[in-house]
Chains A and B, each alone.
Chain A
Amino acid sequence: MTARVSRRSSLLTGVLLLPASLWYLLLLVAPIIIVIVFSFGESGPTGGYAGGFTSANYADLAKNVDPFLTSLRLSIVGTILCVLVGLPLAYYIATRAGRRKSLFIVLLVIPFWTSFLIRTYAWLTILGPEGLAGFIGGVFGDDSWRILGTEWAVQLGLVYGYLPLMVFPLYVTLERMDRSLVEASKDLGAGRWATFRQITFPIALPGVITGSILVFIPMIGEYVIPNILGYGRVFTVGSALVLRFLEARDWPVGSAQAVVLVAIMLVSVTFYVWFINRGRRSRDVSML
């Protein structure tokens, strides 16, 4: 009886997992493997892949390291900005908003939920010659002041787009924090800054790390925001990949760049997982 049940049960498990597994295998694993294979190949006379095995493409990357640097720079600064902007916000919602917490959260989700592309596009109006740039030009008489097309516009767009992703985990962490610890600290004579540094921040830290990863990873691979707000002048890894694959049809080199990009992300995530697990063992306050 048990054998029959467990076999049927395995069958059910298999059926449940089959579609997802197929999907992953066909549309995730297989494409990535193909890209890895291509990254060691050579390109044909009219582009595409033409077989072969060479590590020249990776060697080439050393020459083409600019887009990676740009992307890393934008992502690191973007992540830091997200923490700086997001932490006070999360703290406020978690500790000061009282019964209206849910409302605040919903108000945070709405922009995040509605079209990403459109919100980025809106910044074109706000920052453009008819918006901020025009305003500054009028006030300071400097007609050629521009922010669109510079890295700062892209930076703004990145922070804007991913801020909620930073706030959510921060909020969750802070919300679970035992408030009386803060009060105890204050009543024991610690100043605000000391309290923050020794109580609040360490508790919030796992949330900060989680939020950072949630924000950093997508930022590196962003293509739309640098393209729209950067006017194509801000050349990121995304732009480089599009150039290689669509314009130059140089699939091998493009594949090598893609592999390196994914490697960077995997390394970041591995570091994150390690950090979180390390934290889990040594901390007994707050959870993630």
Chain B
Amino acid sequence: MTAPATPAAPATPLVAGRDLPRGRRPARDRFGVLVEIWLRGHTWLVYGFLYLPIVVVVVFSFNANTRVTNWTGFSLHWYEFVLNSKEIQRNLINSLIVGFATATVSTIIGTMAALGIQRAPKWFRLPFDALTYVSLIVPEIVIALSTLVFFAVTIGKNGLISNLTGGPEIGLGYHTIVGALSVFNISLVLLLVQARLANMDRTHIEASFDLYGTPWRTFWQITFPQLLPAIVAGFLLSFTFAFDDYIITSFVHGTNQTTIPLYVFGALRKGVNPSTNAVAALMLFITLAILLIGQYVLSRQARRSGTAGPAGVAGMIVEQQGA
């Protein structure tokens, strides 16, 4: 590809954007056109790739047939079956409990920590930050088995607590699931809120103090609304991770706490099954609904308080990745 003929370089150095002609491309840049086509095609392919499984699950969950891929007509049969199943109802409730409990705990604790960490002295901040990153890096399976071992040693049958109090063991249960899941999620919320705090407009706060506002009121009327997008994003993200979690839940759950992911994983061992598709589609709908609600809430919030949050929840996540 040949370079276009350019005018001889002037004596003073050229500055891009001022001296150089903008957007001028050689007339016959066929290669360039190919590249453009390739870029666009690639993008569409990738999006297709990303959405294909979702579409497959949803479409076939409406299949009237019992064979997964033989399409014989639209039907809500499997949804009926699934929603009427007592077992699935119970699993769904368990999943919702785990999701909401984890999200609530993580959001409150994570937000508090984000507010506190900026006031903390360096000797504390360093190890604390390190722990935050460790909790995000350590693979779920290691967290799962290490917390299981921890529970065994402390609240298990021959564990510390039992021996100290001489009473029965506390054992596994909702508390262990929520406890274990919250570790990662607290860090998540922490990072999101921290990022927002860092990017926040301080002038409002200063103005508030100048106007003799108390720290308490300043916080609630100025800071908190600006943090709300991050807090909400954190809550929703935590909920989704907890709701969708398999590994940690499967390691540390007790009686009667089978969740939907556990159910699906178990069903998978028996091969793909149309009713599992309906359960899967349900899960997709629920998590998608959460995301959309979050988007809506955040964009309304953004409009109201005038804070610019790009693309709502998505923006939060992207911002966080880049930060």
| B170 proximity list for chain A (CB < 8 A) | none
Instruction: Assess whether B120 is in contact with A13, with CB atoms less than 8 Å apart.
Output: yes
Q: A201 near B: Cβ within 8 Å?
A: no
Instruction: Assess whether A122 is in contact with B56, with CB atoms less than 8 Å apart.
Output: yes
Interface pick from B84-92, B111-119, B198-206, B222-230: B111-119
7 contacts between A and B (CB under 8 A): A23-B109, A85-B46, A106-B314, A111-B54, A114-B287, A118-B57, A168-B322
Task: Identify which of B51, B53, B113, B317 contacts A19 (C-beta below 8 A).
Answer: B113
Q: How far is the CA of A5 from the CA of B252 in the complex (A)?
A: 44
17 new A-B contacts at CB < 8 Å, known A27-B183, A114-B240, A192-B31? A20-B109, A23-B186, A24-B128, A38-B149, A89-B42, A108-B314, A111-B51, A113-B291, A119-B57, A122-B52, A122-B56, A169-B321, A214-B321, A217-B137, A228-B268, A241-B142, A269-B133
Q: How far is the CA of A224 from the CA of B247 in the complex (A)?
A: 8
Q: A102 near B: Cβ within 8 Å?
A: yes
How many of A's residues come within 8 Å of B, CB to CB?
Answer: 102
Q: A187 near B: Cβ within 8 Å?
A: yes
Instruction: Assess whether A117 is in contact with B120, with CB atoms less than 8 Å apart.
Output: no
Interface pick from B14-22, B73-81, B161-169: B14-22
Interface pick from A136-144, A254-262, A277-285: A254-262
Task: Identify which of A17, A32, A113 contacts B287 (C-beta below 8 A).
Answer: A113
Q: A208 near B: Cβ within 8 Å?
A: no
Instruction: Assess whether A93 is in contact with B183, with CB atoms less than 8 Å apart.
Output: no
Q: How far is the CA of A108 from the CA of B44 in the complex (A)?
A: 12
Q: A9 near B: Cβ within 8 Å?
A: yes
Q: How far is the CA of A175 from the CA of B188 in the complex (A)?
A: 24
Interface string of B149-173 (1 = CB under 8 A from A): 1101100000000000000000000
Minimum CB–CB distance for B286 against chain A, Å: 8
Q: A2 near B: Cβ within 8 Å?
A: no
Instruction: Assess whether A24 is in contact with B183, with CB atoms less than 8 Å apart.
Output: yes
Q: Which of A107-127 contact B (CB under 8 A)?
A: 107-111, 113-126
Minimum CB–CB distance for B200 against chain A, Å: 17
| B246 proximity list for chain A (CB < 8 A) | 117, 224
Q: A51 near B: Cβ within 8 Å?
A: no
Instruction: Assess whether A168 is in contact with B317, with CB atoms less than 8 Å apart.
Output: yes
Q: B69 near A: Cβ within 8 Å?
A: yes
Instruction: Assess whether A27 is in contact with B180, with CB atoms less than 8 Å apart.
Output: yes
Interface string of A90-116 (1 = CB under 8 A from B): 011100100000100111111101111
| A78 proximity list for chain B (CB < 8 A) | none
Instruction: Assess whether B142 is in contact with A124, with CB atoms less than 8 Å apart.
Output: no
Instruction: Assess whether A125 is in contact with B148, with CB atoms less than 8 Å apart.
Output: no
Minimum CB–CB distance for B18 against chain A, Å: 10
**Which B residues contact A (CB, under 8 angstroms)?**
1, 3-4, 6, 14, 16-17, 20-25, 31-32, 35-36, 38-40, 42-43, 46-47, 49-54, 56-57, 60, 67-69, 108-110, 112-113, 115-117, 119-120, 124, 128, 131-135, 137-143, 145-150, 152-153, 179-180, 182-183, 186, 190, 237, 240, 243-244, 246-247, 261, 264-265, 268, 272, 276-277, 280, 283-284, 287-288, 291, 295, 310-315, 317-319, 321-322
Q: How far is the CA of A115 from the CA of B3 in the complex (A)?
A: 49
| B183 proximity list for chain A (CB < 8 A) | 23-24, 27-28
Interface string of A64-83 (1 = CB under 8 A from B): 00000000000000000000
Q: A180 near B: Cβ within 8 Å?
A: yes
Instruction: Assess whether A109 is in contact with B313, with CB atoms less than 8 Å apart.
Output: yes
Q: How far is the CA of A106 from the CA of B54 in the complex (A)?
A: 15
Task: Identify which of B17, B38, B67, B117 contacts A17 (C-beta below 8 A).
Answer: B117
| A184 proximity list for chain B (CB < 8 A) | 14, 16-17, 20
Q: How far is the CA of A207 from the CA of B318 in the complex (A)?
A: 12
Instruction: Assess whether B244 is in contact with A125, with CB atoms less than 8 Å apart.
Output: no
Instruction: Assess whether A17 is in contact with B120, with CB atoms less than 8 Å apart.
Output: yes
Task: Identify which of A21, A111, A181 contacts B50 (C-beta below 8 A).
Answer: A111
| B141 proximity list for chain A (CB < 8 A) | 221, 223, 238, 241-242
Minimum CB–CB distance for B74 against chain A, Å: 18
Instruction: Assess whether A16 is in contact with B115, with CB atoms less than 8 Å apart.
Output: yes
Q: A34 near B: Cβ within 8 Å?
A: yes
Minimum CB–CB distance for A130 against chain B, Å: 4
**Which A residues contact B (CB, under 8 angstroms)?**
9, 12-17, 19-21, 23-24, 27-32, 34-35, 38, 48-49, 85, 88-89, 91-93, 96, 102, 105-111, 113-126, 128, 130-131, 134, 160, 163-165, 168-169, 171-173, 176, 180-181, 183-184, 186-192, 207, 210, 214, 217-218, 220-224, 228, 238, 241-242, 245, 251, 254-255, 258, 261-262, 265-266, 269, 288
Chain B's closest residue to A9 (CB) is B119
| B116 proximity list for chain A (CB < 8 A) | 12-17, 20
Q: How far is the CA of A20 from the CA of B117 in the complex (A)?
A: 10
Minimum CB–CB distance for A116 against chain B, Å: 6
| A9 proximity list for chain B (CB < 8 A) | 119
Q: How far is the CA of A115 from the CA of B319 in the complex (A)?
A: 22
| B186 proximity list for chain A (CB < 8 A) | 20, 23-24
| B110 proximity list for chain A (CB < 8 A) | 20
A116-B244, A172-B322 given; A183·B20 CB < 8 A? yes
Q: How far is the CA of A251 from the CA of B152 in the complex (A)?
A: 12
| A110 proximity list for chain B (CB < 8 A) | 288, 291
Q: How far is the CA of A128 from the CA of B277 in the complex (A)?
A: 15
| B31 proximity list for chain A (CB < 8 A) | 192
